[in-house]
Amino acid sequence: MHQHRASRRVRREAGRDRQSQVPLEAHAALPDLESRRDPVEILAGQDEFRLQHLVPIRHGRMSATPFTFYRGAAAVMASDLSQTPTTDLTVQLCGDAHLSNFGVFNGPDRRIVFDLNDFDETHPGPFEWDVKRLAASVAVAGRNNGLSEEKIDRAVRNSVQGYRETLERVSELGPLDVHYWRLELDRVREVIEDAAGDKKKARARLDKLTKKATRKNSLRALDKLTDIVDGRRMIVPDPPLITRVDQLLEPDAAERMGRFFGHYLSSLPRHRRLLLERYGIVDIAHKVVGVGSVGSRCLIVLLESGDGDPLFLQFKEATASVLEPYTAASKFEPGRRVVEGQRLTQTAGDVFLGWSHDTDEQGNAKYFYFRQLWDGKGSADIDEMGGKRLSRYARLCGGVLAAAHARSGDASMIAGYLGDDDTFDQAIAEFSHGYADLTERDHRAHLDAISSGRIHAVHDIDG
């Protein structure tokens, strides 16, 4: 508290002094290859706690390209980052700030915003870990798209420059202004069109993305995911991606389900809880999502009001963040950790964001967080981006990440540390190109493990 109440000038100077301990150029360093943990071993260790019949799907999705591998390998990079120089300038990290974890969604006021949208690994840690995760994802994605090294380098630097310059701007704002800062659709359009050679094309792409996102709501989910069976509205199975869990609704499980849902309701502010109590549970199913999340317990819940108005919620299993072994244990149980981290860093969170817990058949505690399944969510297709589009998008993501860090960390100290030139940008760019090499090597090792039978993978399952 006292540190944050010091003047901006004092905090900025304290950040600048940190350069003597960790020079900006030091961030170019890669982990020591001799002492580096086996990436396949790290991934296999995570599999132990997942639903075993879904683990092969996870590895199938990760194996597709170096970029899909990178998306699912947050635990590998967390281990690597722990071996690099760290500033100890702590923020609430996203923990998995790669390009595909940014996107648009509806804010509570129904206005579309652009922000981070995945917080499974959120945890306090040094700010540069998120910056490196983002910048390296730009390098890996650029290679995946067949771009030249020059275009990739420009996009990587743009992501860091967007971070650094946005942090500089928000460091001059008061705490309340930082809290309210958000990147709304109009501003996204402005930034993209200002940087675009063909403004008409840029506008058309953004309009297409937002129209698609706007249609993604509970009514759309009702139409796509459910049907009337024997006079009852049910979630339609599509195994192995969507599977039924009817046993959860049997009479002998009703009390357990009631307790589980009650824990969730108690995590909500009272006015949100009263709103949700106007709905009743109709059906539940397990739904496979993402790349790195495949195998974790992720369920969708269909609720309806007395008049049949639908609402879809998703509750997803939460475990310890991949960052915790290299920082400190979380102050919260895993479900609450995700929610608290998201509330702290996101500009406009889901109104039904909350947490709960349960036990499995062996009596082991399982933790979950809740959110709406679809609420105007949409993301850019990274695989289709050329050099200019990737650069513009990377810059936007860097700016959003800076604002997220400013809400929980000391923006003035970090801005002072980064300085007013591009030394940090250059160091992170060097790191990112080197880490892209490392990711390609890890991806090959993953493919070899699949070929040898060390890891079982199932391919060609979409969803």
C-alpha radius of gyration, the chain, whole number: 22
Section 123-149 average pLDDT: 98
Residue by residue, DSSP assigns 351-405 as TT-EEEEEE-TTS-EEEEEEEES-SS-B---GGG--HHHHHHHHHHHHHHHHHHH
**Structure-token match 């922000």, residue found:** 115
The Cα–Cα gap between 388 and 245 comes to 46
Section 108-128 average pLDDT: 90
Partners of 103 in the β-ladder: 115
CA dihedral 67, 35, 29, 320 (to 10 degrees): 60
Q: Are 456 and 60 in contact (CB under 8 A)?
A: no
Confidence class for position 441, pLDDT limits 50, 70, 90: very high
Partners of 356 in the β-ladder: 368
Which has the higher per-residue pLDDT, 219 or 273?
Answer: 273
pLDDT on residue 113:
82
For residue 302, the SS3 value is strand
Confidence class for position 259, pLDDT limits 50, 70, 90: confident
pLDDT at 204 over 80: no
Section 136-143 average pLDDT: 98
pLDDT at 425 over 50: yes
Condensed to tens digits (0 to 9), the pLDDT of residues 357-367 reads 988 777 789 99
Between CA 137 and CA 143, with CA 139 as vertex, the angle to 5 degrees is 115
Which has the higher per-residue pLDDT, 240 or 81?
Answer: 81
Which has the higher per-residue pLDDT, 435 or 373?
Answer: 435
pLDDT at 92 over 60: yes
DSSP 218: H
For 429: left if phi > 0, alpha if psi spans -120 to 50, otherwise beta; the answer is: alpha
Confidence class for position 1, pLDDT limits 50, 70, 90: very low
Q: Are 221 and 316 in contact (CB under 8 A)?
A: no
Q: Which helix (H) or strand (E) holds 105?
A: strand 102-106
Q: What share of the chain is helix, strand, coil (3-state, %, to 5)?
A: 50, 15, 30
Section 309-334 average pLDDT: 95
**Quick one: how far is CA 206 from the chain centroid?**
21
Tokens of 109: 């006021």
pLDDT at 291 over 50: yes
The Cα–Cα gap between 66 and 378 comes to 23
- Look at the chain and count its residues: 463
pLDDT at 131 over 50: yes
pLDDT at 250 over 60: no
Residue by residue, DSSP assigns 158-201 as HHHHHHHHHHHHHTTS-HHHHHH--EEHHHHHHHHHHH-S-HHH
pLDDT on residue 223:
83
321: closest CA among 459, 451, 130, 148? 130
Between CA 225 and CA 325, with CA 102 as vertex, the angle to 5 degrees is 100
pLDDT at 461 over 90: no
The Cα–Cα gap between 429 and 444 comes to 23
Section 263-275 average pLDDT: 95
Assess whether the previous peptide bond of 240 is cis (omega < 30° from 0): yes
pLDDT on residue 249:
52
Assess whether the previous peptide bond of 126 is cis (omega < 30° from 0): no
102: closest CA among 125, 118, 81, 78? 118
Can you give the residue ranges of every domain in the chain?
Answer: 2-213+379-452, 218-372
For 370: left if phi > 0, alpha if psi spans -120 to 50, otherwise beta; the answer is: beta
Contacts (Cβ under 8 Å, ≥6 apart) of 277: 265
pLDDT on residue 248:
47
What value does the mean pLDDT of the chain take?
Answer: 89
